[in-house]
Amino acid sequence: MSLLEVRNLSTRFKLIDHTVRAVDGISFSVEHNETLAIVGESGCGKSVTAMSLMNLIQAPGEIDSSSEIIFEGKNVLEMNDSELKELRGGKIAMIFQEPSASFNPLFRIGSQIAEALKIHQGAAKDEALVQAEKLLDSVKISEPDRRVKNYPFQLSGGMLQRAMTALAISCSPKLLLADEPTTALDVTIQAQIIKLLQDEASEKNMSIIFVTHDLELIDGFADRIMLLYAGRVFEQSTAPEFFDNPLHPYGEDLMNAIPRMGLFKDEHKLYTIKGQVPDEKSKPIGCAYAPRCRKCFDKCVNEEPPLFSVNSRNVRCWLFENKNLSTDGEDK
Amino acid sequence: MMTETVLEVKNLTKSYSLKAGGFSFSKERVHALSDVSFSIGKGKTLGLVGESGCGKTTTGRSLLRIIEPDRGKVFFNGSDTNFLSLPEKEMITERLKMQYIFQDPWQSLNPKQMVGRIITEAPLQHGLIKRENALEVSKKYLDIVGLPSEAARKYPHEFSGGQRQRINIARAIVMKPDFIVCDEPVSSLDVSIQSQILNLLLDIQQEFGTSYLFIAHNLSVVFYLSDEVAVMYAGKIVEKAPSRKLYEDPRHPYTKLLMAVAPKIDGKPVSLQPGQDGEVPSLTKLPKGCSFAERCPIASEECRRSIPPLKTVEFEHKVACFKAL
Amino acid sequence: MKKGSPFEIPWLKFRRNPLGMISLVILIILYVSLLLEGFLAPYNPSTKFEEKSFQPPHNIHMIHNGKFIGPFVYEYRMTNTFLKEYKVDRRQVHKLRFFVEGEPYKLFFFIPAKRHFFGTVDGAPFFLMGADRLGRDLLSRIIYGARISLTLGFVSVFVSLFGGLVIGGLSGYLGGAADWIIMRMAEIVILLPTFYFFLFLRSIMPSGITPAQKFLFITLILAIPGWAGSARSIRNWVLSLKNRDFVVAAQLAGIPKMKIIFRHIIPQIRNIIILDITLSIPGVILGETGLSFLGLGITEPSVSWGMLMNAALDVNILSHYPWILYPAITIIITVFSFFTFGYALKDAFDPRSQG
């Protein structure tokens, strides 16, 4: 059984004059000890997906009642408040782009981690503080004995991000949701955090869902990739397959648009994806990417493609319509 | 070099005092920039790369006197008067030929002004165009940056980030500048939009012969777009070389670190050498010697004692490191 | 509301707030009635009726001697000229009708007209809210009083806001010593107890000036403490906005300082200024009421609500002729409407609330 199984997740935001379908019928699963990267541009629904997994969507947003999020055999969307409270920060932990989202500025770092340990593991106060210090040490924060007594503002951005990671993994979660945790950080610090996540995941048999806009960042880090666009799954592949040969033209275009290390303007022109990400009001009838796609043909404009399975990969593109029969895919 | 120099910067230095405002006094100073020097040729791009707090934005802002530097010299367009010592009125006139493209497309356009007005405000103010031609001028520049002419009558909130950045670019080039500071112009944009803007900047450079100071934290973008790249660390330039040369033969350990940790599509996980997990030192108490020494795998006693000067190690290649020769 | 206008969404949100809508309607009625004062009021505010001093409000009847004859009032006759006691004379009937002819007035302040909204057919005095000491119709005086009470608030707030904009704008934009000095001055003004400050300013008002000059002077008195509060809040906004990139862009474009403040910074806080206006007006209305109540504000022959309240200063009078408190009710309704409207507006402008 998969650790997490998401079926037909849809999340809408009812705004004053229209409804935004932020996430529109997404299905995927996360296996034990696996890192899944959810990749996409702004507005593709990646962060809303992550928030939905923890049932953290607040009004005016709502998760469609036909959605299912099965974690260890139980539907997260049917849990009551106390079960949810135990789940969040317990078996599923979360880290954000802004560490300030996790820390209360008025309490010391150590006591906040200890608090989490007390809630989720029933540790005694003194014991929890000792453990907090060990955790800070394990995320390679120097002088952990001094840092536990620090307030959040006394730590640098990178250190705070580590401390947040320490807080998140303090209760040995089965699944870590990381929503753009390195976007606000410098490259050297970003590398340190990625390394830390990798090490912690393999050491503690933890699965990771890593939400990001940065394709380059997840190569060599993620096991599988789910590419989102306008609230829809565009491609699901293993990372090596994807980076070797992205199936969806959107993925391919993205790879060609990135100024990769070692390209220079005098010998290489970057591919330009025309147009822009559609918002709710300008979503096309057919494939959401059709207006920008260089491989677009009539069918793409008129009809939205379903998710086709190609050699155990999924892709939402009419180009793969006839290759669909080659294997029996996951998407039934 | 054979090309004409548009901008010559010498020993730009800036420090801030840490006072909170009002009447508090504090001796502590943040050394944001120390003796930064470079020059940019006509139609060329100098890339300035480094992590946050390294002084790259301060460099861009203080050479345009958005913030006044403590000392240094800036010579613009071969003039032999120092731009930094011009009185305010002349400075403003001189500065019209230098423009700035901001990082955040959401903060850099007045939300209450129509786009046409945003683009033509400066030329109108200085009588470079007539009021009755303003709309036409704005449409012409909207066309250059690839926006429809109806955009002139809309407000910024009706545009996406990438489109706003185009408006920013239109506002900059309407003054027909010789030189533009591009401060992280693509870092807040989506991947699919980044290449549009980068290509637009390249096209404009080709057509108008504009010089750029391209500030970014993303090494691969800087390598791609620049003719020459300067790497900054803790307020100093630590290495400077033509783009390809720097890519093929980085000498400074910090440049090497940046290249090692930059995310790449190569199927390999990030690799960090031992000792590479430090952070940028606090700019209020810089170490006595090389600022990078603490994090440097090859630092010696000498590095901790004295500051390495920026020395030419090869033709057009300068490095500030005792060990890199 | 026009599609795409910056007020479209706030208006959609505002419409959903019943209290806000009610207060908006009340305010509209109040200001429309200000334009129609001569028509709505049965009499001119200075018309005195002999033998009608402190006549209580008339009761409106429909049935006379068991017969329905439409709305009418009975004659009230004074029985005690000393205590101003009245007795209803059930024999004499004055029929009431809409759109009757009466005293001449000027519609919209310039069209000569004689028709009033309502009145007695035979021209006998009719006091819906009673009469004052000199036998003047209180309702008419309240309606005419709105002219000063409702406009003075607006004018005064605009004066103080303009001062606040210039002073606060410069203070925030220039920063440094100028900012420090201006803000300390503003704080001193804020710290002064407002009402005593009014009294002090009033004491330097020259005597023997025309009613129009007096109105202007009172307006200024009420405006003076107001600039400090606006200047402070505007200064803080300017401070937070002046380092925004679009302001830096304007500086790079060589736009002069005052133009930057008024074209690039002030428009960003338009909503806040609108709120500031709506929430300051009630304070000024109350300020005027206070001054006039003490007889230090608007005086005869002008009429204002506060001045009408001045008659209630004497507890003896108040206990015998309680209807002279009617102006207080209008003041309360007006002030309450401004506050409710202001807070509903605040919610509507708040981008975080989804209505």
Instruction: Work out the minimum CA distance from C180 to partner chain B, whole angstroms.
Output: 7
For the segment C189-193, the average pLDDT, to the nearest whole number, is 82
pLDDT at residue B19, rounded to an integer: 58
Q: Helix, strand or coil for residue B67? A: coil
Subunits with 3+ C-beta pairs closer than 8 A to A:
B, C
Per-residue model confidence as pLDDT tens digits over A111-160: 888 888 888 777 788 888 888 888 888 887 878 888 888 888 888 777 88
Q: Say whether residue C246 is in contact with chain B using an 8 A CB cutoff.
A: yes
Per-window interface: A 140-159 vs B, CB < 8 A = 140, 156, 158-159
pLDDT(C197) > 50: yes
Q: Say whether residue C250 is in contact with chain B using an 8 A CB cutoff.
A: yes
Per-residue model confidence as pLDDT tens digits over A207-216: 999 999 999 9
Instruction: Work out the minimum CA distance from C164 to partner chain B, whole angstroms.
Output: 21
The Cα–Cα gap between C57 and C60 comes to: 9
Q: Which residues of C touch B113 (CB under 8 A)?
A: 263-264, 267
Instruction: Work out the minimum CA distance from C166 to partner chain B, whole angstroms.
Output: 20
pLDDT(A328) > 80: no
pLDDT(A327) > 60: no
The amino acid at residue A168 is A
For the segment B158-167, the average pLDDT, to the nearest whole number, is 90
The Cα–Cα gap between A116 and A99 comes to: 16
Q: Say whether residue C81 is in contact with chain A using an 8 A CB cutoff.
A: no
Pick B109's closest partner by Cβ from C246, C253, C267.
C246
Pick A257's closest partner by Cβ from B195, B225, B265.
B195
Write the secondary structure of chain A as one string of H (helix), E (strand) and C (coil): CCCEEEEEEEEEEECCCCEEEEEEEEEEEECCCCEEEEECCCCCCHHHHHHHHCCCCCCCEEECCCCEEEECCEEHHHCCHHHHHHHECCCEEEECCCHHHCCCCCCCHHHHHHHHHHHHHCCCHHHHHHHHHHHHHHCCCCCHHHHCCCCHHHCCHHHHHHHHHHHHHCCCCCEEEEECCCCCCCHHHHHHHHHHHHHHHHHHCCEEEEEECCHHHHCCCCCEEEEEECCEEEEEEEHHHHHHCCCCHHHHHHHHHCCCCCCCCCCCCCCCCCCCCCCHHHCCCCCCCHHHCCCCCHHHHHCCCCCEEECCEEECCHHHCHHHHHCCCCCC
- Closest CA relative to residue A35, chosen from A10, A6, A77, A4: A4
Least confident of A103-107, B303-307, C25-29: A103-107
Subunits with 3+ C-beta pairs closer than 8 A to B:
A, C
For the segment C283-290, the average pLDDT, to the nearest whole number, is 82
C109 Cβ neighbours under 8 A, 6+ residues apart: none
The DSSP call for residue B39 is E
Q: Which residues of A touch C354 (CB under 8 A)?
A: 15-16, 59-60
Q: Say whether residue A199 is in contact with chain B using an 8 A CB cutoff.
A: no
Tokens of A50: 């992550």
Taking 3-state DSSP, the helix, strand and coil percentages for chain C, each rounded to the nearest 5, stand at: 60, 15, 25
Predicted ipTM beyond 0.90: no
pLDDT at residue B22, rounded to an integer: 47
Per-window interface: A 211-250 vs B, CB < 8 A = 213-217, 219-221, 240, 243
pLDDT(B86) > 80: yes
pLDDT(C132) > 70: yes
Per-residue model confidence as pLDDT tens digits over C102-129: 778 777 777 887 887 887 777 777 887 8
Q: How many percent of chain B have pLDDT more than 90?
A: 61
Best of A16, A58, A62, A281 to disrupt the C interface (most C CBs within 10 Å) is: A16
A112 lies in a domain? yes
- Closest CA relative to residue B240, chosen from B170, B168, B314: B314
For the segment C278-307, the average pLDDT, to the nearest whole number, is 80
Q: Say whether residue A138 is in contact with chain B using an 8 A CB cutoff.
A: no
* Phi (first) and psi of residue A149, to 5 degrees: -90, -5
pLDDT(B149) > 50: yes
Q: Which residues of C touch A59 (CB under 8 A)?
A: 354
Instruction: Work out the minimum CA distance from B117 to partner chain A, whole angstroms.
Output: 24
Subunits with 3+ C-beta pairs closer than 8 A to C:
A, B
Q: Cβ contact (<8 Å) for C268 and B121? A: no
pLDDT at residue B1, rounded to an integer: 46
pLDDT at residue A331, rounded to an integer: 44
Domain that holds residue A304: 244-326
CB atoms within 10 A of CB B315: 8
A156 lies in a domain? yes
Per-window interface: A 8-67 vs B, CB < 8 A = 41-42
pLDDT band at C1 (very low <50, low <70, confident <90, very high): very low
The larger pLDDT score, comparing residue A140 to residue A289, is at A289
pLDDT at residue C188, rounded to an integer: 87
Task: Say if residues C298 and C304 touch (Cβ distance below 8 Å).
Answer: yes
Q: Which residues of C touch A60 (CB under 8 A)?
A: 354
Domain tally, chain A: 2
Instruction: Work out the minimum CA distance from C247 to partner chain B, whole angstroms.
Output: 8
The larger pLDDT score, comparing residue C283 to residue A229, is at A229
Q: Which residue has the tokens 């993303």?
A: B218
pLDDT(A329) > 50: no
Residue of A nearest to B159 (CA): A276
Q: Say whether residue C1 is in contact with chain A using an 8 A CB cutoff.
A: no
Q: Cβ contact (<8 Å) for C12 and A15? A: no
Instruction: Work out the minimum CA distance from A91 to partner chain B, whole angstroms.
Output: 26
Instruction: Work out the minimum CA distance from C354 to partner chain A, whole angstroms.
Output: 7
The Cα–Cα gap between B83 and A229 comes to: 48
Q: Which residues of B touch A41 (CB under 8 A)?
A: 190-192
The Cα–Cα gap between A98 and A103 comes to: 10
Q: Say whether residue C355 is in contact with chain A using an 8 A CB cutoff.
A: yes
What average pLDDT does chain C have? 81
The Cα–Cα gap between C3 and A43 comes to: 24
Q: Which residues of C touch B126 (CB under 8 A)?
A: 254
Task: Say if residues C286 and C309 touch (Cβ distance below 8 Å).
Answer: no
Look at strands A4-14 and A61-63 and give their pairing: antiparallel
pLDDT(A13) > 60: yes
pLDDT at residue A294, rounded to an integer: 92
Pick A243's closest partner by Cβ from B243, B244, B265.
B265
- Closest CA relative to residue C339, chosen from C278, C294, C290: C278
What average pLDDT does chain B have? 88
A162 lies in a domain? yes
pLDDT band at C352 (very low <50, low <70, confident <90, very high): low
> What does the domain layout of chain B look like in residue ranges?
5-97+176-319, 111-175
Q: Cβ contact (<8 Å) for C9 and A59? A: no
The Cα–Cα gap between B297 and B292 comes to: 10
Pick C255's closest partner by Cβ from B102, B125, B175.
B125
Q: Which residues of A touch C355 (CB under 8 A)?
A: 16
Q: Say whether residue B135 is in contact with chain C using an 8 A CB cutoff.
A: no
Per-residue model confidence as pLDDT tens digits over C213-266: 877 888 887 787 778 888 888 888 888 888 889 999 999 988 988 889 888 888
Q: Identify the structural domains of chain C with CATH numbers, from first to last.
A: 8-34+143-349 (1.10.3720.10), 49-136 (no CATH)
- Residues B75, B78, B81, B87, Cα dihedral to 10°: -70
pLDDT at residue A118, rounded to an integer: 84
Length of chain C: 355
Pick B112's closest partner by Cβ from C244, C245, C268.
C268
A9 Cβ neighbours under 8 A, 6+ residues apart: A23, A25, A26, A27, A49, A52, A63, A64, A67, A68, A69
pLDDT(C317) > 80: no
Q: Cβ contact (<8 Å) for A254 and B280? A: no
Q: Is A185 exposed, middle or buried (0-12, 13-18, 19+ CB in 10 A)?
A: buried
pLDDT at residue C67, rounded to an integer: 81
Per-window interface: C 143-202 vs B, CB < 8 A = 180
Q: Cβ contact (<8 Å) for B122 and C253? A: yes
Q: Say whether residue A274 is in contact with chain B using an 8 A CB cutoff.
A: yes
pLDDT(B282) > 80: no
Q: How many percent of chain C have pLDDT more than 70?
A: 97
Q: Is the dihedral of CA C222, C225, C227, C230 positive or negative?
A: negative
Q: Of all helices (H) and strands (E), which one includes residue B74? A: strand B71-76
The DSSP call for residue B174 is T
Q: Cβ contact (<8 Å) for A261 and B269? A: no
pLDDT band at B275 (very low <50, low <70, confident <90, very high): low
Cis bond upstream, residue A306 (ω within 30): no
pLDDT at residue A162, rounded to an integer: 83
For the segment A100-117, the average pLDDT, to the nearest whole number, is 84
pLDDT at residue A326, rounded to an integer: 47
The amino acid at residue C192 is L
Residue of C nearest to B169 (CA): C249
Q: Say whether residue B99 is in contact with chain C using an 8 A CB cutoff.
A: yes
Q: Say whether residue C6 is in contact with chain A using an 8 A CB cutoff.
A: no
Q: Say whether residue B104 is in contact with chain C using an 8 A CB cutoff.
A: yes
Best of A138, A165, A188 to disrupt the B interface (most B CBs within 10 Å) is: A188
The CATH fold of domain B5-97+176-319: Rossmann fold (3.40.50)
Q: Cβ contact (<8 Å) for A263 and B244? A: no
Residue of B nearest to C177 (CA): B22
pLDDT band at B273 (very low <50, low <70, confident <90, very high): low
pLDDT at residue A330, rounded to an integer: 43
Instruction: Work out the minimum CA distance from A199 to partner chain C, whole angstroms.
Output: 40
Least confident of A101-110, A278-287, C41-50: C41-50
A280 lies in a domain? yes
Q: Which residues of C touch A17 (CB under 8 A)?
A: 9, 12
Q: Cβ contact (<8 Å) for A186 and B217? A: yes
Q: Say whether residue C258 is in contact with chain B using an 8 A CB cutoff.
A: no
A265 lies in a domain? yes
